Amino acid sequence: MKSKQAEFVIIDVETTGLSPLNGDRIVEIAAMRIKNGEVAQTFESLINPECPIPAGAVNIHGITKDMIKNAPKAGQILPEIIDFVGGACIVGHNIKFDLDFVCYQLSLLGRKLQSGNPAIDTIKMAKHFLPHLSSYTLSSVTLSFGIKIKETHRALADVQLTANIFLRLLDMAEEQKLEKFQDIFEKFSVQKPNFKIENAKQETLF
């Protein structure tokens, strides 16, 4: 199967910090489904993390306690992501960060993504196809393609930017005869985290 014929779901999360194992939690999540190289569906939601948002995190994404005080909790939103992703390949810029949070918080709810979901990191792709760049942040890679940036560090905005660069990188892969999905998977995949559900503390669902 050619890579662009595969079904992809691009995911991005904004969080209270850097480590779910240290108590940091998701405050916003967005996902975008791509079929045959076209955007088919989007999903986004703020999430009440049920913990404080440090000032350093607010300075990055701009999400304040007032913005999330009436937002749904993780138990209401994250199970929807399981259905949204389905059996698609998951894509993200430094996707391991996003999956660590999604998979860990799902484990706290006694849930998990499908075990067979492949995951591809656009940073790994960018480093391969754009070796001349001095920085591989999402903004740097986006600007290298001449794509205008209206907003960053909000989940849906970052998902849209990631979708743009991912499709450009797939075009570059085809030019280098990496046309099949298996080629992309073998070169640029990352392993999904596998948190043990039975050892996790159950979070409040509602």
- Helix (H, G, I), strand (E, B), or coil: what is residue 17? coil
The CA distance from 90 to 117, in Å, is: 7
**CB proximity list for 113: less than 8 A, separation 6 or greater:** 81, 82, 85, 90, 102, 103, 106, 192
On whether the CB atoms of residues 27 and 14 are closer than 8 A, the answer is yes
The CA distance from 183 to 89, in Å, is: 14
**CB proximity list for 64: less than 8 A, separation 6 or greater:** 53, 58
Which one of 61, 128, 132, 153 is the catalytic residue?
Answer: 153
Active site (annotated) includes residue 153: yes
The CA distance from 74 to 90, in Å, is: 20
CA 49 to chain centre: 18
- List active site positions: 153
